[in-house]
Amino acid sequence: MKIAGKFPNIRLRRVRKKAWIRRLISENNLSVDDLILPIFIRDGKNKIDPIKSMPGVNRYTLDKLNIIMRKVQKYNIPMVALFPYIAKNKKDKFGTEALNKNNLICKSIKFIKKKYPKIGVMCDVALDPYTSHGHDGIIINNKIHNDKTNKILVKQALLQAEMGCDVISPSDMMDGRIGKIRKILDKNNFQDVSILSYAVKYASSFYGPFRDAVGSKINLKSDKKTYQMDFRNSNESFREVGLDIKEGADMVMVKPGLPYLDIIKNIKDNFKIPVFAYQVSGEYSLIKFGIKNNLINDDVILESLMAFKRAGASAIVTYFALEAAYQIKRFN
Ligand code: PBG
């Protein structure tokens, strides 16, 4: 691109001199319409337990979900993402609890869809909160078995749809699962249930605090590198997204967020499909601890979220959703 003109005719500071002109020429904007709030749910009654590694984020028992859902409603956040913290005695090698009609996620979907029908609900399809070994799939001969895992995942997805889940979000990174899930949903008259595929999910150390939050950290002895993507790669992400679109994904997710903005931009430019970004737990905690220790101020929240918009993301899953919504309201 050729830049016309030169100093002193051109002074770029003229378009930065006052807030009104900066507002007029801003290329990207962030609104509550861009935000998705993850919520952690636990067993029991009358409990809101803080997650140590994620200051400001709690696990809620079902009877306390109202507390956070009322805020979601007040700030007009379009969708929540539900994650369960499963009691140790309910975990096994096959993640059986994932298919229990009365499990935490099923009960939570029903509760939210009944009391807050206008708020979208998205749920992870993956076995890690339910398996004793903390992997997203089942292990056979020391390997995460792709096709046998898919057989369970389609059942998990169907169950979530039956409970009223609006957006099914496979985050397991097994091959071929999107097509199989689309097929079973359609066969059961759930043509209107969407699939948001975690198409590009990297094997990342930024997930640490999340694994703590859902209680899979202590169990997980190895890494997830045989199914989640290698962070040295970018070309592979095109293949992942291309396949998932063919198999029936409505939207795709890139995860983690900030360290992977190049991937978001590439996919947006090449596929023109809604790309969602996940600002994951480790990113949240780094920023949050920075703010708590007065190393940075909380303007950094909107700055970090705006970066996703600049890269081309349609929406952002972020633990800052409520705080960001509050800040957006305050500044408008
Ligand atoms: C589980 C899942 C993970 C996250 C979302 N779904 C962790 C993992 O794959 O180990 C991470 C979210 C976060 O770190 O905030 N499949």
pLDDT of residue 194: 98
Q: What is the mean pLDDT of residues 93-99?
A: 97
pLDDT at position 54 over 90: yes
| % pLDDT > 70, the chain | 99
Mean pLDDT of the chain: 96
Q: What is the mean pLDDT of residues 38-66?
A: 97
Catalytic positions: 201, 255
Residue at 280 is within a domain: yes
Position with higher pLDDT, 300 vs 221: 300
Query: According to the model, what pLDDT value does residue 220 have?
Result: 84
- Determine the structural domain holding residue 200 and report its residue range: 34-331
Minimum-distance ligand 1 atom for the alpha carbon of 228: 9
pLDDT at 142 over 70: yes
Q: If pLDDT is split at 50, 70 and 90, which confidence band does 331 have?
A: low
> Is the CB of 280 within 6 Å of ligand 1?
yes
Does 23 fall in a domain?
no
Tokens 């290698």 belong to residue: 230
Mutate which of 130, 133, 210 for ligand 1? The one with the most ligand atoms within 8 Å of its CB, which is 210
16: in domain = no
Model pLDDT for residues 117-136, shown as the tens digit of each residue: 999 999 999 999 999 999 99
How far apart, in Å, are the Cα atoms of 221 and each of 125, 132, 135, 326? 21, 11, 9, 39
Q: Is the CB of 124 under 6 A from ligand 1?
A: yes
Are the beta carbons of 277 and 253 closer than 8 angstroms? yes
Q: With a 6 A CB cut-off, is 207 part of the ligand 1 pocket?
A: yes
Q: What was the pLDDT predicted at 12?
A: 95
Which CATH number is 283's domain given? Answer: 3.20.20.70
Measured between alpha carbons, how far is 22 from 108 in angstroms, rounded to an integer? Answer: 43
Measured in Å, residue 3 CA sits from the centre of ligand 1 at 44
Q: What is the pLDDT of residues 3-32, one digit of tens each?
A: 788 999 999 999 999 999 999 999 999 999
Asked whether the predicted pLDDT for residue 332 surpasses 70, the reply is: no
Number of domains in the chain: 1
Q: Is the CB of 97 under 6 A from ligand 1?
A: no
Residue 229 belongs to some domain of the structure = yes
The predicted model gives 233-246 an average pLDDT of 98
Q: Is the CB of 317 under 6 A from ligand 1?
A: no
CB burial readout 176-212, b (16+ within 10 A) else e: ebbbbbbebbeeeebeebbbbbbbbbbebebbbbbbb
Q: Calculate how far, in angstroms, residue 40's C-alpha sits from the geometric centre of ligand 1.
A: 12
pTM listed for this prediction: 0.97
Q: What is the number of the ligand 1 atom nearest to the C-alpha of 284?
A: 15
pLDDT single digits (tens) 203-228: 999 999 999 888 888 788 889 999 99
Position 5 in a domain: no
Query: pLDDT value at position 146?
Result: 98
Which one, of 301, 252, 327, 325, lies nearest residue 34 by Cα? 325
Task: Give percent of the chain with pLDDT exceeding 90.
Answer: 94
Atom of ligand 1 nearest to the CA of 317: 15
Q: Which of 144, 229, 280 to mutate to test the pocket of ligand 1 (most atoms within 8 A of CB)?
A: 280
Residue 227 in contact with ligand 1 by CB distance below 6 A: no
Contact 139, 110 (CB under 8 A): no
